[in-house]
Every structure is written in structure tokens, then in C-alpha cells.
Amino acid sequence: MVQRSLPPAPIGGLAGLRAEAGRCTRCPLHGPATQVVFGVGPPDAPLMIVGEQPGDTEDLTGVPFTGPAGQLFDAAAQEAGLDRTAAYITNAVKHFKYRPSGKRRIHQRPDAGEVTACRWWLDLERATVRPKLILAMGATAVASLSGTGKDILTRRGTFETLSDGTPLFITVHPSWILRLPDPDQQVQERARFRADLAKLVETM
């Protein structure tokens, strides 16, 4: 576990942070992206949900988890009894990283430097919302929060403690499930994802 303390909560709250993040040039990803996709949800949410980065849809809507991964998450959350609207949802990286391919924009995983640069905003969101619990989905979110995204498949479904004492619950990223080529495995993994979320709900 990396020992890091959070910055002081900013005076302007989430609205101020969001406006500032809209002008962010801390890494090159702001250039090709349409807009910053900042976190959404109640400013005092007990649960913070952290994904990797906005996808193609989110880059256009400006709201996290509104594309296919968000739909998978919403369905699993509903079945698990997790109320998305009561949580603050954000990403480890706030701009969409992609490679153009004809008319399509192909998702590219953010590198360690981009994740580190954008942790600035995630730390400020954490310092402002002060969630009682954080759900990290996928290796990028886990790496940004805990210092390493290794062994995600053995760490999933378990709790860790962040250096400020906040409990971290780990699961896979819904996009990883969507990318599985075998439909049977997708069904199994959707069920496991739902079970992870249900375990989280039990502890809340």
C-alpha cells in the first residue's frame, strides 16, 4: 500500500473542481477529447465508485458510465440492490483516450503517467466527498487508489484499506466483461460481477 495523504478539501467544492478540471492540461489527453468527464453524484455520498476513464459515449455525454459499460453496470447494480443515484461515480482518468480508426475511436488504456497526473483530481474528489467506502472497478482504478493494479482477479470481491483508512472494495471493470469473446464466460462473469456488488451492498 502506497502511503499518501489526501489534499485539503477545496473551498469551491465539487462545482469549483469540475470547472477547474475543464481547463486541465496536466497530461496530453485533454487535447483530442471532446470534454472533461468529471464525477457525478451527491457531494456527501457514502459510496464513491471509480472506473477507468470515459469511453466514446461518455466523452460525448460528459457523464460517467452512460455507454455500454454503464448499462452493464446499471443492470448488475439494480439486481444487486445498489442504488447508483446515491453514489458518487467518477473515473481514475477524466479524459477519453482513444486511437482514431476511420470513423471510429478505439479505446486506449491510459498509461501510468496519465493515471498519476489525473490522480490529482481523484484525490480532490475524495477529499471533498469523503466517502465511507470506495468501489474500484478494474485495474486502472485499483492502481490509482491503492498503488498497484496487479492480481485484480484474485483481489476482486475483497476489501482493502487505503492509506487514509477508507475501505476499498475491488471488482472487475464492466468493459472487461463486455470484451470476453466467449458468450458463456460473459454470462458467468456477469453473475460474478453481480455477486461482487451484492457483497458490497451487504456491508453498507
- Contact positions toward ligand URA, by CB under 6 A? 51-55, 58, 64-65, 67, 69-70, 91, 175
Q: Which is nearer to ligand URA, 9 or 189 (CB)?
A: 189
Least distance CB 123 / ligand URA (angstroms): 18
Least distance CB 95 / ligand URA (angstroms): 11
Least distance CB 73 / ligand URA (angstroms): 8
Q: Which is nearer to ligand URA, 133 or 176 (CB)?
A: 176
Q: Which is nearer to ligand URA, 64 or 131 (CB)?
A: 64
Q: Which is nearer to ligand URA, 89 or 162 (CB)?
A: 89
Q: Over the Cα atoms of the chain, what is R_g?
A: 16
Least distance CB 27 / ligand URA (angstroms): 17
The percent of the chain in helix, strand and coil, each rounded to the nearest 5, is 45, 15, 40
Widest CA span in the chain:
50
Nearest to 141 by CA among 179, 165, 109: 109
Q: How far is CA 44 from CA 48, 126, 158, 179, 203, in A?
A: 10, 10, 24, 34, 18
